[in-house]
Amino acid sequence: MSNPFTRNRLIGLALAAVIYAVDQWIKGYVTWTLKLPEKGKIDLLPFFDLTWVENYGVSLGMLTARSMEMRWGLVALTAMIALVVFIWIMREKLLADILGLSMVLGGAAGNIDDRMVYGFVVDYADFHIGNFRPFLVFNLADAAITIGVLIILARSFLSGEKPQAKAQAGEAA
């Protein structure tokens, strides 16, 4: 395992596996131990509650699965995206890029698992300031996907060469 690229990919895949496992454990805990589906809501802090939401769509309620065919269509679509992310991880070399992609992959796997088992994604995290809710109710997988995408975007904007630097390099040659 002396190859740093192989090591980085293994670290990334391990991170994806940990995110998936922790996400599924939390969802099981709020579903079965805390019995959140029966209670509907558990007040924890002045700004955070556990609130049961069955999410039949994807981000912001788009592509809501209203039938069995649509449910499995969403499973197939998200699985294809996860496969693309996995291939991207296998081609990537830099650890920072791999970590962002791995967060997306681990979160996607957690939500795909929910949709296959339950027909919906289990959401429970409800941040709020009084009655103002800056986010929809979400889960750890959603948070990992969002943070992973932000890392990927930030790295693409911050690590690329500036157009002016490219032009100067071209003139010098």
Q: Which two tokens stand for residue 83?
A: 């496969």
**Residue 149: pLDDT over 80:** yes
Helix (H) or strand (E) holding 62, with range, is: none
Note the pLDDT of residue 5: 85
Q: How far apart are CA 72 and CA 157, in angstroms?
A: 35
| Nearest of 142, 149, 114 to residue 127 by alpha carbon | 142
Q: For residue 27, what are the contacts with CB-CB under 8 A and spacing of at least 6?
A: 110, 114, 122, 124, 139
Note the pLDDT of residue 35: 98
**Residue 68: pLDDT over 70:** yes
**Residue 162: pLDDT over 80:** no
Average pLDDT over residues 21-25: 98
Of 97, 113, 114, 142, catalytic: 142
Of 23, 97, 114, 123, catalytic: 123
Average pLDDT over residues 42-71: 87
**Residue 114: pLDDT over 80:** yes
Residue ranges per domain, the chain?
A: 4-158
pLDDT tens profile 72-103: 999 999 999 999 999 999 999 999 999 999 99
To the query of whether residue 97 is one of the catalytic residues in this protein, the response is no
**Residue 123: pLDDT over 60:** yes
With b for 16 or more beta-carbon neighbours within 10 A and e for fewer, the 124-160 pattern comes to: bbbebeeeeeeeebbbbbbbbbbbbeebbeeeeeeee
Beta carbons of 36 and 30 less than 8 angstroms apart: yes
